A and B are shown apart, each in its own frame.
Chain A
Amino acid sequence: MQTQTIEELIPQLKVQILERLIIEGMDPEELDEDMPLFGEVTGLDSIDALELVVMLEKCYGIKITDAKVARKILMTVRTIAEYVYEHREI
């Protein structure tokens, strides 16, 4: 299992998020790690959240089965990185 720090995970997650959500024409660095992912700016919705849940399972072996839990984890890129750091299986 990889042992990346949270700061190392952040840029990696940005790429993975944009890929999973098929957001084309956006530089990963443009995605602010502390900006709410599901707010007015991005317009991401509950299906995007589910897609990110699948991505977390595929890339890090993390299984999230509760939609409420998912919402808390997926608030920002940083909160995702923190969760991955604690709970990754691969």
Chain B
Amino acid sequence: MLTDQTIAGCHINGAGVISPQKTYDNGDFLSELTYYDDNILTCILPNFKDYLNPFQMRRLSRMLRMGLSAATICLREAGLKKPDAIITATGFGFQWDMGKFLTEILEQQEQQLTPTYFMQSTHNALSGLIALFFKCMGYNSTYTSRGFAFETALHDALLLLQEKEAQHVLVGSFDEVYHVQYTDYVRLGYIKREKVNNIRVFEAETEGTLQGEGMAFFIMSDQPKPQTWCRLKNLHMVYRPSDYAGLAAELIEFLRGNGVAPSDVDVLVNGVSGDVVRDRWNLDLQNKYFDHATAVRFKHLTGEYDTAASFGLWLGAKILKTQTVPEAALVSPSPTHGPLKTALVCNHYLGKYYSFFLLTL
């Protein structure tokens, strides 16, 4: 991929995450676990009334309510009234609204259709709604680059900050569980046919993963603040690496270009998904280069979706901020117990889209 040495990093000054675990409360860190047995993990929702009144909530789909709430949580955490720019990312967008509109079209012979479903199914409906809600007229975009959607959004935010077009960029990702996608993915072998409890997904040793969903918003800023979580130093994307050696070389070169050796990484956040076929290279990277580090993983908590790397980013950032590693995510602690200063998120999506995020304090 493009060499990213010319990109300067940024500071993560706030986050708002809604996921299949109770993560919307920034004061908590995965202290309680939620279990799922049918291969589908759905979000634990905050009380929307804490963020929206009945008129503001009218007609809004679940995802849009979640999005506005997560954005509000994030901005409150960052101490901001509004961001300078808004960038969102999604793989499949608003599938429920699109599906409801299509169902009406097919069942009602294209008559008496609900315009709200159509309007709320366009992929940038959330970034537009957030702009409206917070009266932000700044740069606004939405990326749908499959397994790189969130990465594209982050990269664009870094670019905006470097261009001095913004000081605080709200970057958010969202994807939702949907039965049509679920069925398609089971057929394709991307999601397991046999039912597996989410916590045990890594023991299954079969092809496929679990379907998940989630929403993650971050404030990326050009300056640190007292409430800064950590720094996102840089990110890198590798599309369809031809072999493991090629992938490993990209990772090492990425770290080297940012003045980091594998031995400097204190925390490895591994985006393995429980797919024994497609997880192979991520596991090899972990074993080869990071057995000295504290290793954590997260897709047993969230399931898999195009923008799941955002949860990995949240996890790595929160570990650095709190200097604690939640039991729920821990794979193996580091043999040395020093301070946690550098975290690397290594994600893959369907064994096709590989991304690395380098986080430092």
Contacts and interface: CB of A to CB of B under 8 A. Distances in A.
Contacts of A51: 59, 114-116
A54 B57 contact: no
Interface string A16-50: 00000111111000000000000000110001101
A54 B55 contact: no
B287 interface: no
Contacts, number: 35
Nearest to A41: B55
7 contacts: A22-B60, A23-B55, A23-B58, A25-B49, A42-B55, A51-B114, A54-B113
Given A47-B59, A48-B59, A51-B59, A23 B116 contact: no
Which interface class (under 10, 10 to 19, 20 to 34, 35 or more) fits B?
10 to 19
Interface in B43-63: 49, 54-55, 57-60
Contacts of B330: none
A50 B117 CA distance: 12
A61 to B, nearest CB: 11
Interface string B94-123: 000000000000000000111110010000
Contacts of A87: none
A17 to B, nearest CB: 11
Given A23-B57, A47-B115, A47-B116, 14 more contacts: A21-B59, A22-B57, A24-B57, A25-B49, A26-B54, A42-B55, A47-B59, A48-B58, A48-B59, A51-B115, A54-B112, A54-B113, A54-B114, A54-B115
Interface of A: 21-26, 42-43, 47-48, 50-51, 54, 57-58
A73 B184 CA distance: 45
A24 B54 contact: yes
A25 B59 contact: no
Of all A-B residue pairs in the complex, the 7 with the closest CB atoms, nearest first, are: A50-B115, A25-B54, A23-B58, A21-B58, A22-B59, A57-B112, A22-B58
B261 to A, nearest CB: 55
A42 B53 CA distance: 11
A26 B59 CA distance: 14
Nearest to B119: A47
A25 B49 CA distance: 10
Contact of A58 (B58, B112, B115, B116): B112
A43 B59 contact: no
A50 B113 CA distance: 10
Contacts of A58: 112
Contacts of A26: 54
Contacts of A24: 54, 57-58
Contacts of B58: 21-24, 48
